[in-house]
Structures are given as structure tokens and as C-alpha cells.
Structure 1
Amino acid sequence: MALLLSYGLVIFFFYPETRGRTFEEISVIFGDAPDGLCSDELDTKQVVEEADAKYVG
């Protein structure tokens, strides 16, 4: 269990796709709509570009 938790933390904090992003941003990037939002309300490209602009630079 501790090993699984440590792997999850390493992935969350150090992998570029997930580092510093909210769970909602991560779910949009990987194709899932956050709870309470329909997929047609989401503009995936816009969310990814905003997140990249915030964390890359």
C-alpha cells in the first residue's frame, strides 16, 4: 500500500503531464469530463493550452 501511494505521489508531482495541474485538468487531458460537466461544455484544447501556459514557461 505504501509503495502504491509513493508511486502515485511521484507521478502526480514529477511527470510533465500531471505536474502542478488540478485533477479536473488532468481528467480533461486524458479524456474524462469532470463530475457535473457535460463533455460538450468542455473545450479540451483550450483547457490544455491554458494549463500549459500556466506551468510551462
Structure 2
Amino acid sequence: MNRDVCGECGCSLRVTGSRNVVEGDDSKETPTRLFAVLTLECVNPKCIAYGVKSEIRNEQPLG
């Protein structure tokens, strides 16, 4: 599955937002993990998924 194309119409998805999320930073017993979270939406105004937002998470290396 290609994560940067619309599953309904096959058009490219547009990045409409991004943020970083940190997990496991509250305890020394759990590893700290950093994720870049991208908010995407379809660019095709005729698609039923036009304007519907989805998110993908990409883990970023630390260290």
C-alpha cells in the first residue's frame, strides 16, 4: 500500500500538517521513541475522500 496516494482515486495526498510525538520519555525503563506525524488529505475535489484527513507516523532515529 502506497501511503502518499489516495486509496479511493489514486491521486497524490497533500501534507496539511505535521508534528513530533515522543513516546516512552516518562520512565527510564522504557526506550524513548520519536515519531514524525504527517496529516494528509486528497487533492482531488471530485473524490469522495476529498478533504478527509489521515495521519501517518514515521519513527525517527535517535542518537
Taking structure 2 as the reference length, what is the TM-score of the superposition? 0.20
Select the structure with the greater relative contact order (CA < 8 A; seq sep ≥ 6).
2
Q: Looking at CA atoms only, which structure, 1 or 2, has the larger radius of gyration?
A: 2
Q: Tell me which protein shows more strand as a share of its residues.
A: 2
Q: Tell me which protein shows more helix as a share of its residues.
A: 1
Taking structure 1 as the reference length, what is the TM-score of the superposition? 0.20
